[in-house]
A and B are shown apart, each in its own frame.
Chain A
Amino acid sequence: MKKLNYSLIIGMVITGSLLLFALIGQFWTPYSITETSVALKNAAPSMEHIMGCDNLGRDILSRVMNGCGTTFLVAVLTVAIGCVFGVIFGALTGFYGGWLDKIIMRLNDILLSFPSVLLVLIFISVIGKGKYNIILALGILFIPSFVRMVRGEVIRYKEQEFVKSARVLGAGNLRIIFVHILPNLTVSMLTTAAIGFNNAVLAEASMSYLGLGVQPPEPSLGRMLSEAQSCVFNAPWYAIWPGVVIVLIILGFSLISEGLRKMTES
Chain B
Amino acid sequence: MEQKTLIEVRDLTVGFPSEKDGIHTVVDHINFDIHEGEIVGIVGESGSGKSMTALSIMGLLNKDAVIMDGSVKLRGTDILKLNHEERRKIQGDDLSMVFQEPMTSLNPVMRIGDQVGEVLKLHTKLSDDEIDLKVAEALTSVGLKKPEELMKSFPHQLSGGMRQRVMIAMAIINQPDLIICDEPTTALDVTVQAQILALLRKIQREKGCSILFISHDLNVIKEICQKVIVMYHGTIVEQGTVEKVMYHPEHDYTRKLVASMPEQLTEDIPKDPLIHVKDLNIYYRTAGKIFTSKKDRMVYVKDLSFDIYKGEIFGLVGESGCGKTTVAKALTGLNTDIEGTMDLGGTMPQMVFQDPFSSLNPAMKIGKILEEPLKLAGVTDKAERRKKVNEMLLDIGLDESFAKRYARELSGGQRQRIAIGLALMRGEKFIIADEPVSALDVTVQSQILKLLIKLHKEKGLTILLISHDLNIVRHMCSRVVVMYLGRIVEMADVNELYENPMHPYTRMLFESVLTDKKKTDTDKITVNEVRPLKRDQEMCAFYGRCRYAQDKCQEKALELRNIGTEENPHLLRCCLRIGKDE
Contacts and interface: CB of A to CB of B under 8 A. Distances in A.
Interface of A: 1-3, 99, 102, 160-162, 164-171, 180, 183-184, 186
B67 interface: no
Contact of B358 (A3, A99, A161, A183): A161
Interface of B: 19, 290-291, 332-334, 348-351, 353-355, 358-364, 369, 372-373, 376-377, 419, 422, 425-426
Contacts of B350: 168-169
Contacts of B334: 164, 167-168
Nearest to B369: A162
B359 A171 contact: no
A3 B364 contact: no
Contact of B290 (A102, A180, A183, A186): A102
Given A162-B358, A162-B361, A184-B363, A169 B19 contact: no
B372 A171 contact: yes
Given A170-B373, A184-B361, A99 B291 contact: yes
Contacts of B372: 166, 169, 171
12 contacts: A99-B290, A99-B291, A161-B354, A162-B361, A166-B361, A167-B334, A170-B376, A170-B426, A171-B372, A171-B376, A183-B364, A184-B361
What secondary structure prevails in chain B residues at the interface with A? loop
Contacts of A184: 361-363
What secondary structure prevails in chain A residues at the interface with B? helix
Nearest to A2: B19
Most buried by B among A3, A160, A162, A164: A162
Most buried by B among A166, A170, A171, A184: A170
A165 B359 contact: yes
Most buried by B among A160, A171, A186: A160
A77 to B, nearest CB: 28
Given A102-B290, A169-B422, A170-B373, A164 B364 contact: no
Sort A-B residue pairs by CB-CB distance and give the 9 closest, nearest first: A161-B359, A161-B353, A183-B363, A162-B361, A169-B373, A184-B363, A170-B376, A168-B332, A161-B358
A235 B472 CA distance: 83
Contacts of B290: 99, 102
B327 to A, nearest CB: 14
Contacts of A180: 361
A193 B413 CA distance: 37
Most buried by A among B359, B361, B369, B419: B361
A167 B353 CA distance: 13
Nearest to A166: B372
B132 to A, nearest CB: 43
A3 B19 CA distance: 9
Given A99-B290, A161-B354, A164-B334, A169 B360 contact: no
Contacts of A160: 358-359
A168 B355 CA distance: 16
Contacts of A99: 290-291
A144 B490 CA distance: 52
Given A169-B350, A169-B425, 11 more contacts: A3-B19, A161-B359, A162-B359, A162-B362, A165-B351, A168-B333, A169-B372, A169-B422, A183-B363, A184-B362, A184-B363
